[in-house]
Amino acid sequence: MSIAKYSFRTHGCGELNAELLNTSVVLCGWVDSIRNHGGLIFVDLRDRSGIVQLVSDPETPSFEELSRVKPEWVIKVEGIVRRRPEGTENPKMPTGEVEVLVSSVEVLSSSKVPPFEIDENINVDERLRLKYRYLDLRRPNMMKNLIFRHEVALEVRKFLSANGFIEVETPYLTKSTPEGARDFLVPSRLYHGKFYALPQSPQLFKQILMVAGFEKYFQLARCFRDEDLRADRQPEHTQIDIEMSFVNEDDVLGLSEELIKRIFALASIELETPFMRITYDEAMSRFGSDKPDLRFDLEIIDLTDVFKDTQIGVFKVGNDGIIAGLNPKKVFSRSEIERLTEFVKEEGARGLAWFVKENGELRSPLLKFASEKEIYDLNSKILPDSTLFIMAGERETTLEILGKLRIELARILELIPENQFKVLWVTDFPMFEWSEEEKRYKAKHHPFTRPKEDTLVYLDSNPLKVKAYAYDLVINGVEVGGGSLRIFKPEIQKKIFDFLGIKEDEAQEKFGFLLEAFDYGVPPHGGIAFGLDRLIMIALGLNTIRDCIAFPKTQSGTCLLTGAPDTVSIRQLKELGIEIRD
Ligand code: ASP
């Protein structure tokens, strides 16, 4: 469909081609660039559909008007499409065979000199781009990203609808939801001292929709989490949120695979299904991460057995500990090893042991403390001309730090290939995790996640061994989605609440409405949510999710375009019953 339909132009700039020779056209758009060759004047005119060259010479009445225009002015022109003279075609432009000989020009609006050129090949400071986002979005690559996002949203709606899903909107002004991040709160004017919470996800509502009998629900839902904006996060993000009744885990994963495959196909990326699956335990012990990047190998080697009777002090870890290492095929220098030691220390490690094997010889400051058997065993494990980095300590933390070291080594050794997509499910997440800060167990996903019945026996003796029907989708080391089957039996829900120390009245007060709904016939159900921004970022190979969000916040949570967050008037505060203290 022409972009010119329902408008006072006849064509989009990018729609002109040699089939339209001698057609008289009306075009509108922004002046992209101007080349004045004395006799002739050329103007590139840009609209959303693309760019076309306008031309005028002193003989034509439009010449003077066209000579007056400046970059980013908005103009309307009339003219005739003609073939560009031989030798002046531009094969790089879709409209490069033709130009428009302008007969009249109307300036619709002028523009100040923009603070940066509307050219996607120019590097512009991101703060400036965010402040003048409307100019930044004029750049064709940014426009393209947002159009792709629109296509993804359409495809998601089409695919899910075709599979019997109904899109239902859930409220933005609601009660706290159980995703475990900090809530954004909205004070109530009518009930002083009371607050709405913006949803961290539609979790409770989508489960209630299952009780209501919708069976297959989805929503492109905005979710709000007031977290410290580490890495590439936004205080609000969009989820493809899904919930299904009468399903098991395979049903949710199967549907998800088809959906994800279609999204990537829009970017001409073919993903093979079924996706690989590994359990959380395996992901942790092999890659030190619950979102492993499988574009490169470099797996963790368990050395606990080698050093089980060791005299090396730093390797004495007790029964719950682990000694494990990474063995990149490179002989690292002392200074490189020192830098990596600093790296792991910053991640919380006490230190980093190392053994270098070069020309068949083993070197290490620890060599003189190692037994003959240990040296023999190490020698059989370490690659020729390589470095074996070893860490020892509490299992989970040690593996996690090794996982980070694994990524750092891959970066240094340039092991990460471009344009590859390694997709996998991580399944069987633990039901609980230990919060060192709060000195208590917390639900790893959320307290409605269904535990695997056969692991519930560990609830009292070793809660970390209780596994859940919880799964994450990981692409190239990025978690792009996650979900779970949900508890639908009241006695199991009670067990989990009891274990988490959520008292009856607290449960009632926080999610009593859900528990009450569960008294009225609840189908077995489960679901998943995908981060739309992250999926698009990966599919398009962008460096940041901000490049596929029209109006993102900065890393420090501000909007440079509007100035949000901002102060409000005393009157507004009064109405809300709020007083600001320093
Ligand atoms: N509500 C979960 C989340 O936002 C997803 C799910 O369990 O479906 O992470």
Domain boundaries, the chain: 13-109, 142-279+423-549, 296-412
Q: Residue 527: CB within 6 Å of ligand 1?
A: yes
Tokens representing residue 275 in the block: 């996706």
Q: Please state the atom number of ligand 1 nearest to the C-alpha of residue 223.
A: 4
Instruction: Give the model's pLDDT for residue 179.
Output: 74
Q: How far lies 477's CA from each of 25, 290, 296, in Å? A: 50, 9, 11
Q: Residue 178: CB within 6 Å of ligand 1?
A: no
Q: Which of 174, 201, 206 to mutate to test the pocket of ligand 1 (most atoms within 8 A of CB)?
A: 201
Q: Please state the atom number of ligand 1 nearest to the C-alpha of residue 202.
A: 1
Cross-strand bridge partners of residue 115: none
Residue 277: CB atoms within 10 A of its CB come to 14
Q: Residue 479: CB within 6 Å of ligand 1?
A: no
Q: Please state the atom number of ligand 1 nearest to the C-alpha of residue 242.
A: 8
Is 190 exposed, middle or buried, given 0-12, 13-18 or 19+ CB atoms closer than 10 A?
exposed
| Nearest-CA residue for atom 4 of ligand 1 | 201
Q: Residue 484: CB within 6 Å of ligand 1?
A: yes
Calculate how far, in angstroms, residue 206's C-alpha sits from the geometric centre of ligand 1. Answer: 10
Instruction: Give the model's pLDDT for residue 178.
Output: 67
Q: Which of 222, 223, 225, 239 to mutate to test the pocket of ligand 1 (most atoms within 8 A of CB)?
A: 239
Fold annotation for 296-412: Gyrase A; domain 2 (3.30.1360)
Calculate how far, in angstroms, residue 573's C-alpha sits from the geometric centre of ligand 1. Answer: 34
φ and ψ at 477, to 5 degrees?
85, 5
What CA–CA distance (Å, rounded) separates 147 from 151?
A: 6
Q: Residue 529: CB within 6 Å of ligand 1?
A: yes
Q: What is the pTM of this model?
A: 0.94
Tokens representing residue 283 in the block: 């992901």
Tokens representing residue 499 in the block: 């274990």
Q: Please state the atom number of ligand 1 nearest to the C-alpha of residue 241.
A: 8
Instruction: Give the model's pLDDT for residue 509.
Output: 87
| Nearest-CA residue for atom 7 of ligand 1 | 483
φ and ψ at 354, to 5 degrees?
-150, 150
Is 71 exposed, middle or buried, given 0-12, 13-18 or 19+ CB atoms closer than 10 A?
middle
Is 37 exposed, middle or buried, given 0-12, 13-18 or 19+ CB atoms closer than 10 A?
exposed
| Nearest-CA residue for atom 6 of ligand 1 | 483
In 3D space, the residue among 77, 128, 64 whose CA is nearest the CA of residue 104 turns out to be 77
Q: Residue 531: CB within 6 Å of ligand 1?
A: no
CATH 3.30.420.40 fits 142-279+423-549, yes or no: no
Cβ atoms of residues 520 and 210 within 8 Å: no
Q: Give the sign of the dihedral formed by CA 174, CA 176, CA 181, CA 184.
A: positive
Instruction: Give the model's pLDDT for residue 424.
Output: 98
What CA–CA distance (Å, rounded) separates 207 from 522?
A: 9
Long-range contacts of 501-508 (CB under 8 A, 24+ apart): 501/440, 502/447
Q: Residue 483: CB within 6 Å of ligand 1?
A: yes
Fold annotation for 13-109: OB fold (Dihydrolipoamide Acetyltransferase, E2P) (2.40.50)
Q: Please state the atom number of ligand 1 nearest to the C-alpha of residue 486.
A: 7
Q: Please state the atom number of ligand 1 nearest to the C-alpha of residue 528.
A: 8
| Nearest-CA residue for atom 1 of ligand 1 | 203
Q: Residue 447: CB within 6 Å of ligand 1?
A: no
Q: Residue 482: CB within 6 Å of ligand 1?
A: yes
Calculate how far, in angstroms, residue 175's C-alpha sits from the geometric centre of ligand 1. Answer: 16
Q: Residue 238: CB within 6 Å of ligand 1?
A: no
- Residues lower than pLDDT 50 in the chain: none
Calculate how far, in angstroms, residue 201's C-alpha sits from the geometric centre of ligand 1. Answer: 7
Q: Please state the atom number of ligand 1 nearest to the C-alpha of residue 526.
A: 8
Q: Residue 401: CB within 6 Å of ligand 1?
A: no
